[in-house]
Structure 1
Amino acid sequence: MPIDTTPSTVATNALQALPFSSLIGGPLDAAIKAQAMAAKTSWEFIQQVGLNEDKATGKREAVNVTFYYNKNGQMTKLIVPLLTIVPIPYIAIDEVQINFKANISASSSSVSETSSSESTEAGGSAKASFGYGPFSVSAEFKANYSSKKDSKASEESKYSVEYTMDVQVHAGQSDMPAGLATVLNILQSSITDANSKGTFTFSPANPQVDAATLAKDGKFAVNITANIKDSNGLVLAGEKVTFTPDAGKNITFDAVPEQTTDDNGNVTFTVNGTLTSVDAYSEAVGFTLADAKQGLSASGVLSFIGQLPTT
């Protein structure tokens, strides 16, 4: 009997018919879409939680959280961008495992059976007598014939296909993208404390005029730079600032014109005056810097140290 190759053909066809592109591509496609949704969620969180938008101009500003605390006896305001103190949900899929197993079983069996039997038998009967008296002969004949033939054939084939697939997806909090990390670093560097009323500072902190800077006629010039910030720690540009010196015993000051702060909130005054005494001097004169619009001011002392040069 020839070898039946039907099971092999059935198994091969069943394996080729499996939708491998869908079985493997489906989970990968789902993982990509899930990653896209996670990125969108992160962006929506940043927009809705960390940024405020001006409806009129479309300008976005970082949402700040303000804390007040005591610093060296003064109530100080700490301004912190919200995005630097809350975790940003940035979930990334870093691993997808697809385990696939197919079990294909095909078998075929056939049974063929043939049996036959024959029999021959004389049948019928005949009788004959010959002779007379004691010399007589009689004969009887009987003959039968039968023929029998049996046959049996059976054939069976079966196959089954079974496959299982396990998909494992692992996701976790991923590192921030470089751009977002840079933004957060910038916001973190912007954390500042500010006086609840604003600040007015100047430099040098202790302005001085010494003998080396005096002209022979006693004239002097000194530069004083001031900086103004509001209660949120933001520099104030375009503010009008005045410089007012106190009266000195042996010192006269030229008029000091009003100055305007630049874009960085800075303003520089050149203070000119004359030292009138020819004697040795050691004198100090107070001065005041004031911004009328914000109601801010700062006071300092201008010191004169040395010997007035003689002609």
Structure 2
Amino acid sequence: MKLIRFGEAGAEKPGVIINETYYDVSSLVSDYDENFFAGDEINKLAESIKTADLPIVEKNVRLGAALARPSKIICVGLNYKDHAAETNAAIPTEPILFFKATTAIVGPNDDLEIPKNSVKTDWEVELAVVIGKKAKYVSEADAYNHIAGYVLHNDYSEREFQLERNGQWVKGKSADTFAPIGPFIATPDEIEDVHNLRLWLTVNGKTLQDGNTSNLIFNVPFMVSYISQFMTLLPGDVITTGTPAGVGLGQKPTPWYLKPGDVVELGIDGLGSSKQNVKAYS
């Protein structure tokens, strides 16, 4: 099943994609939020849509983030060897964790706003995991039972704020519009092998990132289990799993970053694509 949220910002309704057609399921569920993911609502929805007479939604509708604001976004840094190499960082021996503010969340095709005083706004295509069942001290063997689905995420970063302004990375990760999520959440049955998905990103039509989740340093069940040793993961929480090589910070011979007027497009096998037009802060 593919879950979407559609409509004006702040007033999105839940929907599904069936055979590439969008349907409104707001008569069946209120939203894709913690309450939805906490129970058996995904399975109930899958059964209900088989017989329900659902309104069709025009495809030109705005898509919101594929889930309502979660309690937290947990990010895993430097989780691809090629990305660690391009940034001259050591290969982590344990996952590097940091948070991204949930106020950064926007729809998959909403504009990217370069923050005030930013000079190093960067891109990062990432596979994100949506938690479907409360997870605390979960074993790696049991981790998949706590996953509701997978979704495309662009983990935008302001590198000066992140690396040159002291403190934790969260400052460079949390600006408004820095977390476009979607177009849809794919339930696990939609994805044959989460560890063999191509992920790519272009800026102004030029391919800059072209990787595969087979190159993750720490795989999905390990990350879910590991993070749950340090904090409780709630239904609807998002774990974003790192980016492959090709970010602006790693460009040779000179790093370069986004500017107003640029167009960023990205995608992951089985999880669709998104597009962000870059705007200046005003």
**TM bracket, shorter-chain basis:** under 0.3
Q: Which has the larger radius of gyration?
A: 1
TM-score when scaled to structure 1? 0.26
TM-score when scaled to structure 2? 0.28
Q: Which has the higher strand share?
A: 1
